[in-house]
Amino acid sequence: MTREVRSLQYGEQEIRYEIVRRPRRTLEIAVEPDLAVLIVAPEDVSLDAIEARLRKRAAWVVRQQRYFDQFVPRTPKRRFVAGETHLYLGRQYRLKVVPDTRESVKLTRGFILVQTGEFQSSEVIRGLVEGWYRDRAHIKFPERIERCLGLFPEPEAFRPKGVTVRELRRRWGSMSPSGRLLLNGRLIQAPVDAIDYVITHELCHMAEHHHGAAFFKLLDKVLPDWKRRKRRLERAMA
């Protein structure tokens, strides 16, 4: 897999985009919530062909960027200090830090309660909270996967061969050609119906590998309100 960053002038606007080449047959253009443009292309497609396709889709790319841009200002970068708000399953919780010889994190009465002897260290608090998020993701995501599989007429035909959770820079999830599901750990902060949208979207790729008409026909069938859920995800996680 190779990556390359290029730009295209569209009227007065410059579209910067990243090309990722993979062993595949089709070319896909995506606009991410951070406004980045990602083109996943077959290894043997020329740069001229990629640029020609992007020019045809340039108006759509600009519309998508403007759509995502409406959610700015983004959530400020978290400092992991007492009183700061953090999301968990779409709800806001205040961070409460209590000095203790033990280290633990738990939800209690509208707070994410952190107990640590290093209660004045934001880096220690960050590590504990992020570790707690990871633990919760490994508990909640399998539960939601089972729930989403139940949406399909033949659930076992859509069951992924494996599940990996890790921080992703741009995507909420992906399904590998071999059937391994990858989910962004940050999804644990999103509302449950938005998490289910991402999982269901990726499960559809078990049958339809690309975002063609057949893919969206399947997604519409198993999750008719997916567009509402997608908008909620974008708003909640902006």
Domains contained in the chain, CATH given: 2-69 (no CATH), 85-131 (no CATH), 141-236 (3.30.2010.10)
14 contacts: CB under 8 Å, gap ≥ 6: 7, 8
pLDDT at 210 (0 to 100): 86
Res 209 pLDDT > 60? yes
Mean residue pLDDT of the chain comes to 92
Cβ atoms of residues 3 and 33 within 8 Å: no
pTM of the model: 0.76
Q: What is the pLDDT of residues 86-136, one digit of tens each?
A: 999 999 999 999 999 999 999 998 999 999 999 889 999 999 999 999 999
Pairing of strands 91-99, 85-88: antiparallel
Q: What is the pLDDT of residues 144-196, one digit of tens each?
A: 999 999 999 999 999 999 999 998 877 899 999 899 999 999 999 999 999 99
pLDDT at 55 (0 to 100): 95
Cβ atoms of residues 116 and 127 within 8 Å: no
Cβ atoms of residues 164 and 180 within 8 Å: yes
Cβ atoms of residues 93 and 86 within 8 Å: yes
Res 71 pLDDT > 80? no
